[in-house]
Structures are given as structure tokens and as C-alpha cells.
Amino acid sequence: MLWLQIQPTNYRRLVEERGWNHNEFERWHASTMIAALVEPCTVR
């Protein structure tokens, strides 16, 4: 999962081809990495 996430082609596809700006990509990248690396907190 992480290997796929850090591929430079993700930036190119989303920013250059799909029209995202850098901040949109940065938010998506950060939230995806956090979701992949951090277990959700469960309330008891």
C-alpha cells in the first residue's frame, strides 16, 4: 500500500492530468497515509 502511495505518477496523474492543485494533492496524500498507518481509535 505505502509503495503505491509514494509513486511520483500519483502526483502527475492527479495534478497535471486531473487538474488538482498542489494543496488538494497534499491533503489527499496526507489523509490516505494517516488512514493506512494509524489504527482507528475505538471508544468503549
Cα–Cα distance measured from residue 11 to residue 41, given in angstroms and rounded to the nearest whole number: 30
Residue 6 confidence (pLDDT): 82
Query: Which residues are CB-contacts of 21 (< 8 A; sequence separation ≥ 6)?
Result: 15
Segment 6-31, tens digit of pLDDT:
889 999 999 999 999 999 999 999 99
Residue 2 confidence (pLDDT): 72
Q: Is pLDDT of 39 > 80? A: no
Residue 36 confidence (pLDDT): 84
Residue 15 confidence (pLDDT): 96
More confident residue, 1 or 15: 15
